[in-house]
Amino acid sequence: MNLLREELSWITPELCLTLFACVALLVDLFVQKGRESVMVGFFSLMGLLATAFFLYRQYGVTPPAQPVFGCMVVDPFSTLFKLFAVGALAFVVLFTMLSRQTRPDGYGEFYFILLCAGLGAFFLASTYNLLLMYLGLELLSIASYILAGYAKGNRRSGEAAMKYVIFGAVASGVMLYGFTLLYGMTGSIDLTVIGPKLRDQFALDHGTIPISVATGLCLAGFAYKISAAPFHFWTPDVYEGAPTPVTTFLAVASKGAGFAALLRFLQAGFIPDRTLGGPEAMMGYSDKLGTLVAVLAALTMTLGNLAALGQTNLKRMLAYSSIAHAGYVLMGVATMNREGFSSVLFYLVVYYFMNLGAFGVVMYYANTTGDEQIDDLKGLGWRSPLVAITMVAFLVALVGLPPTAGFIGKWFLFTAAVKKGFLWLAVVAGINSAISLFYYFRVARAMWLRPEEEAKYATVHASPAFAALLLVLAVGTVWFGVGFDSLLRYCDYSQNLLR
């Protein structure tokens, strides 16, 4: 019984989130009509706060040696991603409360599904068990399908959700088939067992074709979740069609969880322990896998950036930009070593701040004007300076220029890639960053380099709450560009304890 209590104490954050998801539903049923939005949102925020508190308490405590209940891993790595997901959810809830675009008739179910999606991200980030990984991915995905189609009666939202569900279901089906092949080869669905078993098989030197097929199928699923080429087609459509707070969630939390699972998958299953020395074939295979990911990274960032150049819709442009950023992050994954992985973590945290901010500005703009075109932003700088200034901070960070966190994040990624010997990849990424300057600059130009008289829309002041949110994000974006030491140490720490 004591053991049970101890195990339960390790999954308090998940229990707490589940509880508050249910509470959100109940509150919607019992609260007076017309006040659901505020009350349900408030309870969801309380739940997220409580979850964050429990997560914070887990940080610094020696993690359990064995997975909890045989499948949940509690370590700083998962705690980092869970905090990441909780923070993103909190911003999404706040955005939803402030947004005019999402006015659902059932607030309870919206927040319930949102919190469930967060729960899926939790599971995805903290397991070596392939089945639980699949279930987490599906919980996250299915909730995202519903959220993407939440603007009922809106053709674009419905279409986005439909495309998402079709592509998503196929990708997860492909991934599941890859998992079953791994199970067939090793007789286990636990990655910590699969890794050594694969090492034995490499030692037997049966050839790598079956393993390559299985790995390829699994990678396809992960590539879909992080919207990497060639499985990125759904991204622009879904990001554009979904309600903006939901888009924010997809771009930040969903992608982050996908990367967490990918890192765990590669780390536990396919990176030989250099100190122990694996069979020669496995070393070669691991390097080949790294090269494959590197090629995918180059492809992803190039496709994303080139497509973003021609966009006129702000949301769609940011969608392509998020594809490009998945490419940059994959650069760190391709190194297949600890340094690369810790730079991935760092960049994801940075990405979190700048993308939340950029989508927040899009939401503000769409709310006040009902318009998402880049060219119609003209004169915004003179009319709503605060919003425009923070937007410039986010854009500078997205390009990757100092003194923002975007620069530091990219710096670490580039260094890791070059050290691993992917000089060509770093060059491609550099050229891509230069390309991205053009389309990010177009937004800034529309906002500032046009006279005030040309402004299309009258002055709209951001509500104080919204302005505060944007300021927090902008300060974070700049702060981590200067005082990045503590964050870097935390990312490193999370990475080192990854078994």
Partner 1 sequence: MYFDYFNVFVFLTTGLLFVFANMIVGGLVRPQKPTPEKLSPYECGEDVIGDSWIRFDIRFYTTALIYLIFAVEIAFLFPWALVVREIGMLALVEGFTFVAILLLGLVYVWVKGDLDWVKTYNASVKGGTEVEDRPAADIHGGPLPVELLQAAGVGPTITEQQTKGEKGHS
Partner 2 sequence: MSFFGAPVFFLAAALFALGIYGFMTRRNLIVVLMSIELMLNAANLTFLAAARGTAQANEASSYAVFVILVAAAEVAVGLALVLAVFRLKRDSDIDAARDLRG
Structural contact between residues 478 and 405, judged by C-beta atoms closer than 8 angstroms: yes
Place of tokens 């078994």: 499
Q: Does 109 bind partner 1 (CB under 8 A)?
A: yes
Between CA 446 and CA 453, with CA 452 as vertex, the angle to 5 degrees is: 115
List 19, 22, 50, 185, residue binding partner 2 (CB under 8 A): 185
- 483 by DSSP, 3-state: which? coil
Tokens for 172, please give them.
Answer: 């997860």
Give the one entry of partner 2, partner 1, none that residue 28 binds, where binding means its C-beta sits below a cut-off of 5 to 8 angstroms depending on kind.
partner 1
Q: Does 306 bind partner 2 (CB under 8 A)?
A: no
Count of residues near partner 1 by CB under 8 A: 13
Give phi and psi for 190, each to the nearest 5. Answer: -100, 120
Give the one entry of partner 1, partner 2, none that residue 176 binds, where binding means its C-beta sits below a cut-off of 5 to 8 angstroms depending on kind.
partner 2
Give the one entry of partner 2, partner 1, none that residue 105 binds, where binding means its C-beta sits below a cut-off of 5 to 8 angstroms depending on kind.
partner 1
Give the one entry of partner 1, partner 2, none that residue 22 binds, where binding means its C-beta sits below a cut-off of 5 to 8 angstroms depending on kind.
partner 1
Q: Does 249 bind partner 2 (CB under 8 A)?
A: no
Give the one entry of partner 2, partner 1, none that residue 303 binds, where binding means its C-beta sits below a cut-off of 5 to 8 angstroms depending on kind.
none
Whole-angstrom distance, CA of residue 19 vs CA of residue 377: 42
Give phi and psi for 207, each to the nearest 5. Answer: 95, 155
Rounded to a whole number of angstroms, the minimum distance from the CB of residue 142 to partner 2 is 6
Give the one entry of partner 2, partner 1, none that residue 445 binds, where binding means its C-beta sits below a cut-off of 5 to 8 angstroms depending on kind.
none
For residues 29, 32, 33, 35, the Cα torsion angle rounded to the nearest 10 degrees is -100
Place of tokens 């300021």: 471
Select from 6-14, 150-158, 331-339, 471-479 the region that touches partner 2 (CB under 8 A): 150-158
Q: Does 14 bind partner 2 (CB under 8 A)?
A: no
Q: Does 197 bind partner 2 (CB under 8 A)?
A: no
Q: Does 159 bind partner 1 (CB under 8 A)?
A: no
Q: Which residues, 6 or more positions from 282, have their beta carbon under 8 angstroms from its beta carbon? A: 198, 199, 202, 203, 272
Q: Which is nearer to partner 2, 89 or 181 (CB)?
A: 181
Count of residues near partner 2 by CB under 8 A: 47
Select from 55-63, 165-173, 278-286, 454-462 the region that touches partner 2 (CB under 8 A): 165-173
Q: Does 105 bind partner 1 (CB under 8 A)?
A: yes
Task: Report the candidate in 84, 19, 22 with the shortest Cα–Cα distance to residue 52.
Answer: 84
Rounded to a whole number of angstroms, the minimum distance from the CB of residue 29 to partner 1 is 5
Whole-angstrom distance, CA of residue 235 vs CA of residue 463: 30
Structural contact between residues 120 and 136, judged by C-beta atoms closer than 8 angstroms: yes
Q: Which is nearer to partner 1, 106 or 284 (CB)?
A: 106
Q: Does 106 bind partner 1 (CB under 8 A)?
A: yes
Structural contact between residues 259 and 329, judged by C-beta atoms closer than 8 angstroms: yes
Q: Which is nearer to partner 1, 113 or 336 (CB)?
A: 113
Q: How many residues does the chain have?
A: 499
Q: Which is nearer to partner 1, 51 or 248 (CB)?
A: 51
Tokens for 165, please give them.
Answer: 């569900």
Residues of span 3-22 touching partner 1 by CB under 8 A: 4, 18, 22
Whole-angstrom distance, CA of residue 24 vs CA of residue 112: 6
Rounded to a whole number of angstroms, the minimum distance from the CB of residue 22 to partner 1 is 6
Q: Which is nearer to partner 1, 47 or 108 (CB)?
A: 108
Give the one entry of partner 2, partner 1, none that residue 170 binds, where binding means its C-beta sits below a cut-off of 5 to 8 angstroms depending on kind.
partner 2
List 2, 34, 458, 486, residue binding partner 1 (CB under 8 A): 34
List 41, 108, 245, 379, residue binding partner 1 (CB under 8 A): 108
Whole-angstrom distance, CA of residue 32 vs CA of residue 43: 15
Tokens for 171, please give them.
Answer: 């990708």
- Could you give the C-alpha distances from 32 to 37, 38, 59, 90, 340, in angstroms and in order? 11, 11, 39, 24, 52
Between CA 147 and CA 355, with CA 365 as vertex, the angle to 5 degrees is: 60
Give the one entry of partner 1, partner 2, none that residue 4 binds, where binding means its C-beta sits below a cut-off of 5 to 8 angstroms depending on kind.
partner 1
- Could you give the C-alpha distances from 91 to 53, 458, 469, 473, in angstroms and in order? 16, 27, 8, 10
* Angle, in degrees to the nearest 10, between helices 423-448 and 405-420: 160
Q: Which residues, 6 or more positions from 91, have their beta carbon under 8 angstroms from its beta carbon? A: 248, 356, 360, 469, 473
Tokens for 489, please give them.
Answer: 């140490």
Give the one entry of partner 2, partner 1, none that residue 221 binds, where binding means its C-beta sits below a cut-off of 5 to 8 angstroms depending on kind.
none
Q: Does 138 bind partner 1 (CB under 8 A)?
A: no
Q: Give contact residues for partner 2 (rule: CB under 8 A).
A: 131, 134-135, 138, 142, 145-146, 149, 152-153, 155-156, 158-163, 165-166, 169-170, 172-174, 176-177, 179-181, 183-185, 187, 189, 201, 206, 210, 236-237, 240-241, 310-313, 316
Interface positions with partner 1 (CB under 8 A): 4, 18, 22, 25-26, 28-29, 33-34, 105-106, 108-109
